[in-house]
């Protein structure tokens, strides 16, 4: 019986609520392994971390444990990473370590030549789809900003004025400073700390988190 290493991840509570919770992923992997003659040695986990980050503790430990004759089993490729570059890199690293990659949702098994080919093709298609969504979203937001249309959520740097958006000079100045700090090399976490230490609240009057700073900078640039 071959040895399997499981890996599970969620980045948001919304994902968990929509059916890819950690428990759901764990159950799928635990059920699949014995049914396919794999002994599950353990499951590594990352919670609340984006799939675009490659330095996740759970992922790194799973990759380190995956050695010759073992298989890294994931619920789907998106749980492993959302970057084609990282996906191919992980696949190459596992191959060098003598390990295989198995994704239950896409039914990918790199123990076969066909599985390896499909793995690489799906990685490219996943990134293409993600880039298309990002492109459409940016275009829609840019159009609304240019025409002063109301967003579903009022973006930082603007306030509602009837059915349109008006620039909020005070918030716009904060956004501009955040962009300047980012260009100087400051991390999102460092910028969030800077804003919090200065007593600058978010749109909802709360403290800044690095993800909010990232969204602020993207919208301001």
What residues are labeled active site?
11
Q: Name 44's bridge partners.
A: 7
CB burial string 173-187: b at 16+ within 10 A, e below: ebbebbbebbeeebe
For residue 121, which of 138, 108, 134 has the smallest C-alpha distance? Answer: 108
Residue that the structure tokens 């740097």 belong to: 157
Which own/partner pairs from 115-120 qualify as long-range (CB within 8 Å, at least 24 positions apart)? Answer: 116/91, 119/77, 119/91, 120/88, 120/91
DSSP 163: T
C-alpha span between 15 and 21 (Å, rounded): 7
Question: Smallest Cα–Cα separation from 170: which of 184, 182, 156, 181?
Answer: 156
Q: Which of 128, 40, 85, 52 is nearest to 93 (CA)?
A: 85
Tokens representing residue 169 in the block: 């000079």
């Amino acid at each position: 019986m071959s040895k399997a290493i499981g890996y599970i991840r969620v980045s948001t509570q919304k994902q968990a609520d929509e059916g890819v919770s950690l428990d759901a992923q764990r159950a799928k992997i635990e059920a699949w392994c014995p049914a396919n003659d794999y002994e599950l040695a353990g499951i590594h986990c990352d919670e609340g971390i984006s799939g675009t980050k490659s330095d996740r503790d759970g992922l790194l430990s799973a990759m380190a444990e995956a050695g010759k004759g073992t298989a890294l089993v994931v619920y789907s490729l998106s749980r492993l990473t959302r970057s084609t570059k990282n996906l191919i890199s992980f696949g190459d690293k596992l191959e060098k370590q003598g390990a295989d990659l198995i994704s239950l949702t896409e039914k990918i098994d790199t123990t076969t030549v066909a599985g390896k080919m499909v793995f690489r093709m799906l990685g490219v298609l996943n990134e293409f789809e993600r880039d298309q969504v990002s492109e459409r979203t940016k275009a829609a937001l840019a159009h609304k900003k240019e025409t002063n249309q109301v967003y579903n959520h009022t973006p930082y740097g603007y306030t509602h004025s009837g059915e349109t958006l008006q620039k909020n000079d005070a918030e716009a100045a904060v956004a501009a400073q955040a962009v300047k700090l980012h260009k100087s090399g400051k991390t999102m976490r460092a910028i969030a700390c800077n804003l919090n230490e200065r007593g600058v609240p978010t749109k909802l009057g709360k403290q800044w988190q690095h993800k909010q700073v990232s969204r602020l900078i993207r919208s301001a640039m």
